[in-house]
Amino acid sequence: MCGIWALFGSDDCLSVQCLSAMKIAHRGPDAFRFENVNGYTNCCFGFHRLAVVDPLFGMQPIRVKKYPYLWLCYNGEIYNYKKMQRHFEFEYQTNVDGEIILHLYDKGGIEQTVCMLDGVFAFVLLDTANKKVFLGRDTYGVRPLFKAMTEDGFLAVCSEAKGLVTLKHSTTPFLKVEPFLPGHYEVLDLKPNGKVASVEMVKYHHCRDEPLHALYDNVDKLFPGFEIETVKNNLRILFNNAVKKRLMTDRRIGCLLSGGLDSSLVAATLLKQLKEAQVQYPLQTFAIGMEDSPDLLAARKVANHIGSEHYEVLFNSEEGIQALDEVIFSLETYDITTVRASVGMYLISKYIRKNTDNVVIFSGEGSDELTQGYIYFHKAPSPEEAEEESERLLRELYLFDVLRADRTTAAHGLELRVPFLDHRFSSYYLSLPPEMRTPKNGIEKHLLRETFEESNLIPKEILWRPKEAFSDGITSVKNSWFKILQEYVEHQVDDAMMANAAQKFPFNTPKTKEGYYYRQIFERHYPGRADWLSHYWMPKWINATDPSARTLTHYKSAAKA
């Protein structure tokens, strides 16, 4: 996890423009470099480093003797870089995983390069010999990337939008900043004056398709067919592999543990893999909640079962409410469910950074979208429509859960790893017949639970624990987080403000006082940038007025049972 920033064709003083790069310093607390491009006085790279691999040669932009015309700035982890090196007999100059991008590009061009990367990434690649600039981002957008481009060819890119909004350019007083789409790469021509022109934007991978790099994988051979035992076996192989490949780091690994199914499976598998790799330190797991929260109790059970060194972080409603402003600033969104769920994750990341030496943090993000874990999937009209909705959620992860997971951890210089969004695991899961993946017997994620039924990885009652939204599970059933928030904003936003909401905020008009309150904070930090969020996250197939799982009928009946 690092912070990348680059400008091409700037007509303002670079030493002034580079102050914008400091807005993302939290992403790389270990080192900073600012470098001009030879021969292009108005082009430069900025890089904030979190040293996770190769502490000696890991600074960026990466340049190697063999390709003096290539400049690479990337944020991410490429898990198959050693396999690719062995297979193609590349000669590496560093131990940095990202160096593989330079070799693959030289060998087969940009299309082949992005398709061969097994990992999470956002990059800017400059080829001064062929006068090209390339931008690329991983399938699910696990690593963030924003860009701004003017009609006269000024291009600015950054890991977070906050590093671009204050940039100056002569032709526009208001620079349009937008997220770079996941699963895409863009080719741009570099002109002699340092400006660029977009040539093409290409979607190189759909989450359903098996990735090209699978051909070079050393995963145990999967068994063909859709017999339930075959499928379960394949899922276990792929999930184990997804966790194992993510152990790649020189820094200490920890794990978020909410006590839900997903984080529990990740923590249990991670601990097993660390033991097999003979890692010398105990796995530390972290749970957050208010007193008597269901998450804390469940996480404790899992930690006892797997034998992790477990930490519980307590917070009260006042601390949660006080964090809202900095959380929304970090997130760069005003989506209601994202803000709610981010507070706990932001506070626990703050605790980990301050009190431990863990830097790489595993978590269960992406599972709900992939395995149809949201409670409203019980209402899906058909398996095919459920499948369609699952894929829509995966496409939009970069606006919601993945955004939350990245920004709340990166704000405190931590790097998040999410095994459920592994290319091989997710594409296999999505290739299964739609009816296999739907909720069964009133239980969501039935197939995933069944897969680990006999493994004794986690306690049975956790394996079959019903879905609990993170923002709800951290508080007690009697008074959930969303109710605490709503009671607070009731005194901050009055009816007259709500009556005027459509006029004040014509785009994505907030329908509730809570939504209005978040939007106000967002507009204070990022005025006129509401279009970064195309729509609010909301459950489907039901008449929901609130995104909280606790407002849904299925949750209420489960709570009574």
288 is in an annotated binding site: yes
User: What residues pair up with 5 in beta bridges, in sequence order?
Assistant: 46, 158
Beta pairing class for 309-314 and 284-289: parallel
Secondary structure (DSSP) of 180-197 = PPTTEEEEEEEPTTS-EE
Element holding 511 (H helix, E strand): none
Max Cα separation, the chain?
Answer: 70
256 is in an annotated binding site: yes
Instruction: Round to whole Å and give the CA distance between 390 and 540.
Output: 11
Answer yes or no: is 97 a known binding residue.
yes
For residues 377 and 318, what is the distance between their CA atoms, to the nearest angstrom? Answer: 34
Length of the chain counted residue by residue: 561
Shortest CA distance to 257 belongs to which of 362, 413, 412?
362
Separation between Cα atoms, residue 34 and residue 50, nearest integer Å: 15
The Cα-based distances of 27 to 51, 57, 169, 307, 489 in angstroms read 11, 18, 25, 31, 31
Which two tokens mark 36? Answer: 């001009």
DSSP state of 232: H
Residues 55 and 18: their CA atoms lie apart, in Å, by 24
* Residues 6+ away with beta carbon under 8 Å from 123: 4, 72, 73, 74, 75, 76, 98, 101, 134, 135, 136, 137
Rounded to the nearest 10 degrees, what angle do helices 336-355 and 317-331 cross at?
100
2 belongs to the catalytic site: yes
Q: CA–CA separation, 95 vs 89, rounded Å? A: 15
Q: What six digits make up the tokens of 500?
A: 């005027």
364 is in an annotated binding site: yes
Alpha-helical (H) ranges within 307-433 are 317-331, 336-355, 367-370, 383-395, 401-410, 423-431
At 3, give phi and psi (nearest 5°). Answer: -120, 125
Residue type at 89 in one-letter notation: E
CA distance 358 to 343: 20
- 293 marked among binding-site residues: no
Residue whose entry in the numeric block shows the structure tokens 């951890």:
409
Please report where in the chains the tokens 């739907």 appear, as a residue.
438
- Hunting for tokens 């972290």 — which residue is that? 286
Of the listed 2, 43, 207, 255, which one is catalytic?
Answer: 2
| Residue 236 CB-half CA count within 13 A | 17
Strands 132-137 and 146-149: unpaired
- Cα 403 to Cα 439: distance, rounded to the nearest angstrom: 26
Tell how strand 40-49 and strand 62-64 pair up.
Answer: unpaired
Alpha carbon distance 29, 414 (integer Å): 10
The 3-state DSSP class for residue 69 equals strand
Q: How far is CA 117 from CA 134, 242, 424, in A?
A: 15, 14, 12
Binding residues for ATP: 256, 288, 363-364
Active-site positions read 2
Binding residues for L-glutamine: 97
Binding residues: 97, 256, 288, 363-364
